[in-house]
Structure 1
């Protein structure tokens, strides 16, 4: 589908090549350096990572799971990547864009943030084309300056994966797309996204699913089973670890001795925070800490007041990734009530901090929570089921050291090895 757009003018590229004053302009190594000899079959892979789900200064937790997986892949020394993380823009609707630079370096990774137009109410239809145009401009500029890539590493099937497959056709690059959840469970319910997602599935060289349930969803959408590789997310076991002194941590956070539940995630409907709040009616004496921010904040606050549990619910707001271990470590149980997930990172993060979980039956939950020391998975995520699950778990809680030990099997090493093997197989097949 390279005929989607005519050749792009300089003005249409959305981002220009790094100027002489750019920190990338004088690079002598890494993804922004001109490519070296390619005769060594085992030289590092040169990836172009495309994802609108990627942290930036205005949204430090946005898509942090994509960044974390990439960081661990690059730390292997067998891959290098330049990140294209387009950000939506529309006049008067995106004031935080001023805080997002066109170019930045995060954890040693070069990240470019071209802007793409996202008209309110039309973005679901226009975003794939808009992302394609600005990304094509950025890639054209890099290739003109002598940079080269072996493959496109795209995250999220729609709109990112759709645009990535078009880019792969335009620039002759194989594309590996990682599906992550609602891009398989929700977006295909809409006619146009479903058609474009189907095209992307067929056009991608390979697909990654973060759980077996998500793989089954891809196959149901028409993906050949042989094209889908399951590579679960991992957890940073150095960052997420039990607190040295849990009682002192709870005291520093102003928490008493009452059982503390934790719910982490954006304050949006599908995360199910309302169900956890409602479960408190059947859990007298239990308190709830909600970490996250979003459009449902006012509604959730009103719900807690209406149900008479407002004095036992604390809204912590957005918390940086680095400080999340304090919340996990202080809690007695972490509750995931999401209606849809591909693989909920919060489950592993909580367990790595020694805190067992009560999880909804969303995709990936039973794969992540597969032993008593990890916690339990509910058959349904209703307030009554959540309350019953919490009572069952806390009536005989697992040893927190055992919960941590269970989580240690979910480091990133296996996922990194799987990515390297998959990309090299794709490139070998192409050769």
Structure 2
């Protein structure tokens, strides 16, 4: 028997932003590839209620996203909902329901669904709960990190999250550490299942480091020799790239280069910091790195550093390990669930000297890439989908 899932996710790729929420898409595509599940995704897109010409620049590209498209065989609908500046945080679940429920009713009438899920706890969770109730269906909600660590500490959002959690057939968390944080907020611990991320081992695997460095040198003008540290993430304060740049100025880090993959509002400040510390010639801003180049960067690096303020369990942690590249990360989220062997890397305080010491240790005493990659062997999209199918099957069965 094939069960049908209606998945609600504000975080999902679209034709004009193919990298946005790609890990959510890979999960849903893996589930849809199974013979026992059929998946339809609704990806609500928030836009201010303004004419196109007056739309803030950041939102204008979203106007060109089609109402519906197929991504790897999965139908993805992109209804628009209103973003109201200053009010949207607490109103977003209701605004999403208003935009999505007519579409959900129509799709359900055409081919009935068996359950609804939300791929982000807020605002998706409360919205999915209301849609599922309107359709008379059970539902599940997944937590990924910032939805708990940010929205879970805002009283109005937490009230809505708690109400949605009480009626859910299952709650999922990307790490045990995040599951503990959910329970600490008062979300029902008995309903929480740890559901680790997946990984495409065909794409992320060890490669000859010299060949990867040659590609990076040709494409991005990164030196082909000498230690290279990768840092992958949006250029925003909570990701901690400033700490990584400061670590380059610490004793023992002479000759080490840093490759920053990502874009964001902090780029100008980070460039200025690198100049101020006289390490600008060793800091390489790569911009938004295409997914095909991500494994090349990771395989070419001696280590990956991501000094984030908070994470659930970052997909880039697992991808780097699978490429044979050890990690230097803080003791946050699921870090200790990933760094379970010495070859996987080091936990370091969010402080430049500590980061520099950890990086220097990994560079001076490298582990074999195959030993590092073995630390990520348990993560796969097939395992991810199998566990999701099992949990969701129980939700449908009641």
RMSD: 1.3
> Within the alignment, does 1:399 sit opposite 2:362 as a pair?
no
Q: Secondary structure at the match of 1:410?
A: coil
CA distance in 1, matches of 2:13, 2:301: 26
> Within the alignment, does 1:250 sit opposite 2:220 as a pair?
no
The range that moved more, 186-195 or 283-292, is 186-195
Structure 1: 5+ residue stretches without partners: 1-42
Structure-2 residue corresponding to 1:204 = 168
Summarize deviations over 1:5-61 as a string: whole Å, max 9, x none. xxxxxxxxxxxxxxxxxxxxxxxxxxxxxxxxxxxxxx1220001000001122211
Q: Where does 1:176-325 land on structure 2 (aligned, <5 Å)?
A: 176-243=140-207, 245-254=208-217, 255-282=223-250, 283-325=253-295
**2:72 aligned residue (104, 107, 111):** 107
CA distance in 2, matches of 1:323, 1:246: 14
CA distance in 2, matches of 1:385, 1:298: 25
CA distance in 2, matches of 1:159, 1:201: 12
Q: Secondary structure at the match of 1:416?
A: helix
CA distance in 1, matches of 2:386, 2:392: 10
* 1:370 CA drift (Å): 0.7
CA distance in 1, matches of 2:85, 2:19: 23
CA distance in 2, matches of 1:178, 1:85: 15
Q: Secondary structure at the match of 1:157?
A: coil
Structure 2 contact 212–297 (Cα < 8 Å) conserved: no
CA distance in 1, matches of 2:339, 2:29: 25
**1:364 aligned residue (331, 334, 338):** 334
* 1:427 CA drift (Å): 1.5
CA distance in 2, matches of 1:338, 1:330: 22
CA distance in 2, matches of 1:224, 1:52: 24
Structure 1 contact 201–222 (Cα < 8 Å) conserved: no
Structure-2 residue corresponding to 1:88 = 46
Aligned residues: 384
Structure-1 residue corresponding to 2:220 = none
Are the structure 2 counterparts of residues 219 and 235 from structure 1 closer, same or farther at C-alpha, using a change threshold of 3 Å? same
The range that moved more, 107-116 or 216-225, is 216-225
Structure 1 contact 60–320 (Cα < 8 Å) conserved: no
Structure 1 contact 250–256 (Cα < 8 Å) conserved: yes
CA distance in 2, matches of 1:116, 1:302: 38
Structure-2 residue corresponding to 1:424 = 393
* 1:62 CA drift (Å): 0.9
* 1:353 CA drift (Å): 0.9
> Within the alignment, does 1:133 sit opposite 2:98 as a pair?
yes
CA distance in 2, matches of 1:69, 1:195: 28
Q: Normalising to structure 2: TM-score of the pair?
A: 0.94
CA distance in 2, matches of 1:50, 1:256: 44
Q: Secondary structure at the match of 1:373?
A: helix
Q: Secondary structure at the match of 2:134?
A: helix
CA distance in 2, matches of 1:129, 1:296: 32
**1:153 aligned residue (117, 142, 152):** 117
CA distance in 2, matches of 1:236, 1:252: 21
Structure 1 contact 358–376 (Cα < 8 Å) conserved: yes
> Within the alignment, does 1:352 sit opposite 2:322 as a pair?
yes
Structure 2: 5+ residue stretches without partners: 218-222
* 1:224 CA drift (Å): 2.3
Structure 1 runs of 4+ with >4 Å offset: none
* 1:210 CA drift (Å): 0.6
Q: Secondary structure at the match of 2:39?
A: strand
Summarize deviations over 1:50-98 as a string: whole Å, max 9, x none. 0000011222111111111111122222211110001111121211123
Structure 2 contact 302–362 (Cα < 8 Å) conserved: no
Structure 1 contact 157–200 (Cα < 8 Å) conserved: no
